Structure 1
Amino acid sequence: MSQVLILLAVIFFIVIATSKFKLHPFLTLIIASFITAFSYGLPSADIAGIITSGFGGILGYIGLVIVLGTIIGTILEKSGAAITMADVVIKVLGKRFPTLTMSIIGYLVSIPVFCDSGFVILNSLKQSMANRMKVSSVSMSVALATGLYATHTFVPPTPGPIAAAGNLGLGSNLGLVIFVGIFVAAVAALAGTLWANRFANVEPDGEGAEELKNNVDDFEQLKETYGVLPSASRAFAPIFVPILLICFGSIANFPSAPLGNGFLFDLLIFLGQPVNALMIGLFLSISLLKSDNKIKEFSERISQGLVVAAPILLITGAGGAFGAVLKATEIGTFIGTSLSALGIGIFMPFIVAAALKSAQGSSTVALVATSALVAPMLGDIGLASDMGRVLTVMAIGAGAMTVSHANDSFFWVVTQFSRMSVKQAYKAQTMATLVQGITAMTLVFILSLVLL
Structure 2
Amino acid sequence: MGLVLILIALIVFIVMATTRWKLHPFLALLGAALLAGFAYQLPTLEITGHITRGFGNILGYIGIVIVFGTIIGVILERSGAAITMAETVIRLLGERFPTLTMSITGYLVSIPVFCDSGYVILNSLKNALAARMKISVVAMSVALATGLYATHTFVPPTPGPIAAAGNLGLESNLGLVIGVGLLVALVTALAGMFWANRFIHKEIELVEDGAPIIDSDAYQTMRDSYGVLPGPAKAFAPIFVPIALICLGTVVNLPARPVGEGMIYTLFAFLGQPVVALAIGLGLACTLLKSSNKRQELQDRVTEGIIAAAPILLITGAGGAFGAILSATPLGDYLGQTLSGLGIGLFMPFLVAAGLKTAQGSSTVSLVTTSALVAPLLGQLGLDSEMGRVLTVMAIGAGAMTVSHANDSFFWVVTQFSRMKVATGYQAQTAATLIQGVVGMLTVWLLSLVLL
Q: Which TM-score tier does this pair reach, normalised by the shorter chain?
A: over 0.9
Residue 383 of structure 2 aligns with an amino acid whose one-letter code is: L
Q: Measure, in 1, the Cα distance between the counterparts of 2:98 and 2:225.
A: 25
- C-alpha distance 310-204 of structure 1, shift in aligned 2 (>3 A): farther
- Partner residue, 2:367: 367
Q: Measure, in 1, the Cα distance between the counterparts of 2:223 and 2:292.
A: 20
Contact 1:85–1:236 (8 Å) recurs in 2: yes
Secondary structure of the corresponding residue to residue 207 of structure 2: coil
Q: How does 1:213-292 map to 2 (within 5 A)?
A: 214-292=214-292
Matched, 1:4 2:4: yes
Q: Measure, in 2, the Cα distance between the counterparts of 1:288 and 1:204.
A: 40
Q: Measure, in 2, the Cα distance between the counterparts of 1:275 and 1:210.
A: 44
- Partner residue, 1:188: 188
Q: How does 1:124-163 map to 2 (within 5 A)?
A: 124-163=124-163
Identity across the alignment (%): 67
Residue 352 of structure 1 aligns with an amino acid whose one-letter code is: V
Q: Measure, in 2, the Cα distance between the counterparts of 1:27 and 1:375.
A: 21
Matched, 1:170 2:165: no
RMSD: 0.9
Cα-to-partner distance string for 1:84-103 (whole Å, 9 max, x where unaligned):
00010000000000000000
- Partner residue, 1:440: 440
Secondary structure of the corresponding residue to residue 217 of structure 1: helix
Contact 1:363–1:400 (8 Å) recurs in 2: yes
- Cα deviation for residue 237 of structure 1 reads 0.4
Quick check: 256-265 or 192-201, which moved more?
Answer: 256-265
- Cα deviation for residue 202 of structure 1 reads 2.7
Q: Measure, in 2, the Cα distance between the counterparts of 1:202 and 1:26.
A: 43
Matched, 1:409 2:421: no
Q: Measure, in 1, the Cα distance between the counterparts of 2:336 and 2:397.
A: 20
Residue 245 of structure 2 aligns with an amino acid whose one-letter code is: L
Secondary structure of the corresponding residue to residue 76 of structure 2: helix
Contact 1:361–1:404 (8 Å) recurs in 2: yes
Q: Provide structure 1 residue ranges, at least 5 long, that are not aligned to the other structure.
A: none
Residue 54 of structure 1 aligns with an amino acid whose one-letter code is: G
Cα-to-partner distance string for 1:154-213 (whole Å, 9 max, x where unaligned):
000000000000000000100000000000000000000000000112344332379545
- Cα deviation for residue 214 of structure 1 reads 4.3
Runs of 4+ in 1 over 6 A off after TM superposition: none
Give the TM-score normalised by the residue count of structure 2: 0.99
- Partner residue, 1:85: 85
- Partner residue, 1:323: 323
Q: Measure, in 1, the Cα distance between the counterparts of 2:210 and 2:143.
A: 20
- C-alpha distance 227-204 of structure 1, shift in aligned 2 (>3 A): farther
- Partner residue, 2:356: 356
Q: Measure, in 2, the Cα distance between the counterparts of 1:212 and 1:259.
A: 58
- Partner residue, 2:347: 347
Secondary structure of the corresponding residue to residue 112 of structure 2: coil
Contact 2:242–2:280 (8 Å) recurs in 1: yes
Q: Measure, in 2, the Cα distance between the counterparts of 1:300 and 1:379.
A: 45
Residue 81 of structure 1 aligns with an amino acid whose one-letter code is: A
Q: Provide structure 2 residue ranges, at least 5 long, that are not aligned to the other structure.
A: none
Residue 381 of structure 1 aligns with an amino acid whose one-letter code is: L
- Cα deviation for residue 431 of structure 1 reads 0.2
Secondary structure of the corresponding residue to residue 41 of structure 1: coil
Q: How does 1:12-91 map to 2 (within 5 A)?
A: 12-91=12-91
- Partner residue, 1:113: 113
- Partner residue, 2:311: 311
Q: How does 1:195-210 map to 2 (within 5 A)?
A: 195-208=195-208
Q: Measure, in 2, the Cα distance between the counterparts of 1:273 and 1:77.
A: 25
Give the TM-score normalised by the residue count of structure 1: 0.99
Residue 75 of structure 1 aligns with an amino acid whose one-letter code is: I
Q: Measure, in 2, the Cα distance between the counterparts of 1:132 and 1:261.
A: 56
Cα-to-partner distance string for 1:106-154 (whole Å, 9 max, x where unaligned):
0000000000000000000000000001110000000000000000000
Residue 195 of structure 1 aligns with an amino acid whose one-letter code is: W
- Cα deviation for residue 217 of structure 1 reads 1.2
- Cα deviation for residue 61 of structure 1 reads 2.3
Matched, 1:298 2:298: yes
